[in-house]
């Protein structure tokens, strides 16, 4: 009575398949849903089967980070370091906007993944190729901070969430609870002006892309000035 016809064999697991499924799971259900158990279920596999391909959950997370970082474009072949850095960072930003859970995952790691190191190393190389001293390249990388990875803490994204309760507030100019304006007048003022300046939609809020490039260019221009002045730390 033994059945000859078997359940069709699943395409065999591989580290790549595990990591890709993890990225998809996190993209679709959020980072909190990325558990060994949920991932195993998505792959039609018993949880312990995953441990053949990743040592533990930390290594899984490191693996998915590297898959995502691998999506960042390589540096342009251009002699203008500023242009190369700018485009690379904007590429990184686009990647991390496609996978919004990755920024926090990167910051939660206590040790950077190989792909992160390679990315940072390549960026240092761009500065060095542009004539930067090791010293200046070093400090400039620090000054870039998380912006080098294409994200910065968008503090006002969160502030906007705090200020606006529902989507249909019936107070045209600000749409902020009066209590909010009382407690945080300066934030409220900024929010109102940002809404007014934008003719199209009231309360659309900040143009994230503009803010990002504003900050990026501010840094880049300051850096360029230091470079032209032959800045050196006195260490």
CA pair distance 194, 8, nearest whole angstrom = 58
What is the Cα–Cα distance from 16 to 168, expressed in whole angstroms?
Answer: 44
Per CB under 8 A, does 25 bind its own copies? no
Considering the complex, state which of residue 171 and residue 189 has its C-beta at the smaller distance from its own copies.
Answer: 189
Site for its own copies in 113-132 (CB under 8 A): 114, 116-118, 120-122, 124-125, 128
Return the number of other C-beta atoms located less than 10 Å from residue 182's C-beta: 9
Token readout for 121 is 């190393």
168 φ, ψ (degrees, to nearest 5)? -120, 65
Catalog residues that contact DNA under the rule CB under 7 A.
33-38, 45-49, 51-52, 56-58
Least distance from C-beta 168 to its own copies, angstroms? Answer: 19
Structure tokens at 131: 């004539």
- Candidates 44, 100, 131, 145: give the one binding its own copies (CB under 8 A): 145
Using the rule CB under 8 A, which residue among 107, 171, 173, 209 binds its own copies? 107
Cβ distance to its own copies smaller for residue 44 or 222: 222
Pure H helices in 130-207:
134-144, 155-163, 178-183, 185-197
Whole-angstrom Cα distance, residue 37 to residue 218?
A: 45
- Residue 39 CA to residue 33 CA, distance in Å, equals 9
What residue ranges bind its own copies (CB under 8 A)?
A: 104, 107-112, 114, 116-118, 120-122, 124-125, 128, 134-135, 137-139, 141-143, 145-149, 152-156, 158-159, 161-162, 183-187, 189-190, 193-194, 197-198, 206-207, 210-212, 214-215, 218-219, 221-223, 226, 233, 235
């Amino acid at each position: 009575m033994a059945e000859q016809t078997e359940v069709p064999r699943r395409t065999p697991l591989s580290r790549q398949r595990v990591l890709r499924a993890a990225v998809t799971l996190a993209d679709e259900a959020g980072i909190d849903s990325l558990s060994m158990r949920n991932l195993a279920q998505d792959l039609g596999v018993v949880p312990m089967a995953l441990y053949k391909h990743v040592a533990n959950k930390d290594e899984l997370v490191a693996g998915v980070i590297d898959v995502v970082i691998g999506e960042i474009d390589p540096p342009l072949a251009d002699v203008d370091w500023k242009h190369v850095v700018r485009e690379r960072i904007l590429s990184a930003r686009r990647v991390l906007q496609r996978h919004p859970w990755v920024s926090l995952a990167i910051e939660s790691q206590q040790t950077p993944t190989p792909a992160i190191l390679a990315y940072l190393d390549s960026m240092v190389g761009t500065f060095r190729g542009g004539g930067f001293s090791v010293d200046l390249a070093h400090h400039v990388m620090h000054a870039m901070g998380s912006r080098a990875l294409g994200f910065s803490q968008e503090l006002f994204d969160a502030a906007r969430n705090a200020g606006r309760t529902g989507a249909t507030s019936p107070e045209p100019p600000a749409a902020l609870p009066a209590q909010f304006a009382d407690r945080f007048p300066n934030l409220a003022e900024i929010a109102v002006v940002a809404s007014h300046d934008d003719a199209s939609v009231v309360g659309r809020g900040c143009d994230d892309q503009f803010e990002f490039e504003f900050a990026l260019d501010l840094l880049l221009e300051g850096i360029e000035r230091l470079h032209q002045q032959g800045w050196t730390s006195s260490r």
